[in-house]
Structure 1
Amino acid sequence: MQRAALLDAARSLLSEGGTEALTFPALAERTGLARSSVYEYFRSRAAVVEKLCEVDFPVWAAEVSAAMERAHGPEAKVEAYVRKQLELVGDRRHRAVVAISASELDAGAREKIRAAHGGLVSMIVEALG
């Protein structure tokens, strides 16, 4: 529950104030934990963002997939994909992950994000095919 609270606080901080706002003291303050407790869950800001991606990307993909499954025909599926993606771009979960620069993430984290995006892209490629 504390990890989930930390992730929710991180989403809010990133969404509200960008990269600069995501600090361990701010996470501690938002969750009521001691700063040292935050380090028990995450070793760095990049680790927080990596976990956000790990948790949120499957949710986004499921939402896009569900929207496309409800659509009938290829054109409707493409439209559903685009509409859902545009909707998700405005979601604070997405804004939070985008707020931190990729340069702060290690190669493994960047690869996980690329793979998750690849899964989203494959949905539209299939519909376009």
Structure 2
Amino acid sequence: MAEHRTMQRGALLDAARTLLSDGGTEALTFPALAERTGLARSSVYEYFRSRAAVVEELCAVDFPVWAAEIEAAMEHAGTPEGKVEAYVRRQLVLVGDQRHRAVVAISASELDAGAREKIRAAHGGLVAMIVAALEALRHEQPLMAAMLLQGVVDAAVRRIELGAEDPRAVADAAVAMALRGVRG
């Protein structure tokens, strides 16, 4: 029984990712979740009490996976500059991932305080990852630089999502800007 519930919960989260990715937050409804998973609408409420609860669960499940991928890319880099580049590039590669598209849709919506705090904490975890590399580069203010570096990444993400430029060109420009910025 517990295994069945775990599978159903996973199916609901997969459906939520697809709905958010394809149609934004307006598409994330309990009737749509029920339809995508073959559950009765009332059954969806057995797993999640609200849309915000679905969003919080997605954050709890997806952000750590995303962060682990970024961290692994950084660990493979041999130099602090390589870690900065890996930090930027891996986040930009993830733009095409359904988890990222779902997170963007979530971030654009009106969320309750709990969900918003989870997103803030997850982003704080990303910023914390790069601080050590900036310290190794002897940056005078590594935390502030990390926050500004994340701003470069966020701007590059928006450019890629707009589809106006080649994603590789955007990534190259973001990496160049990031490396020039952290070197001073």
Query: Which amino acid counterpart does residue 127 of structure 1 have in structure 2?
Result: A
**Structure 2 residue corresponding to 1:34, chosen from 37, 40, 43:** 40
Which residue is 2:12 aligned to? Answer: 6
2:94 is aligned with 1:85: no
String of CA shifts for 1:93-116, please: whole Å, max 9, x gaps. 011122135653221221111111
Query: Which amino acid counterpart does residue 129 of structure 2 have in structure 1?
Result: M
Query: How much does 1:13 deviate?
Result: 0.5
Higher RCO (CA < 8 A, seq sep 6+): 1
Which residue is 1:99 aligned to? Answer: 105
1:14–1:100: 8 Å Cα contact kept in structure 2? yes
- Partners in 1 of 2:40 and 2:105 — Cα distance? 25
Root mean square deviation of aligned Cα = 1.2
Relative to the length of structure 2, the TM-score reads: 0.67
Which residue is 2:62 aligned to? Answer: 56
Tell me how many residue pairs correspond in the alignment: 129
- Partners in 2 of 1:22 and 1:28 — Cα distance? 11
Query: How much does 1:45 deviate?
Result: 1.1
Query: How much does 1:89 deviate?
Result: 2.1
Query: How much does 1:90 deviate?
Result: 2.1
- Partners in 2 of 1:50 and 1:111 — Cα distance? 10
Larger radius of gyration: 2
Which residue is 1:66 aligned to? Answer: 72
- SS of 2:49 mapped into structure 1: coil
Q: Which runs of 5+ in 2 are unaligned?
A: 1-6, 136-184
1:46–1:104: 8 Å Cα contact kept in structure 2? no
Which residue is 2:164 aligned to? Answer: none
Alpha carbons of structure 1 residues 27 and 103: separation in structure 2 relative to 1, 3 Å: closer
- Partners in 2 of 1:41 and 1:35 — Cα distance? 11
- SS of 1:100 mapped into structure 2: helix
- Partners in 2 of 1:16 and 1:105 — Cα distance? 19
Alpha carbons of structure 1 residues 68 and 101: separation in structure 2 relative to 1, 3 Å: closer
- Partners in 1 of 2:16 and 2:64 — Cα distance? 18
Indicate the larger mover: 70-79 or 95-104: 95-104
2:122 is aligned with 1:116: yes
Q: Which runs of 5+ in 1 are unaligned?
A: none
1:102–1:110: 8 Å Cα contact kept in structure 2? no
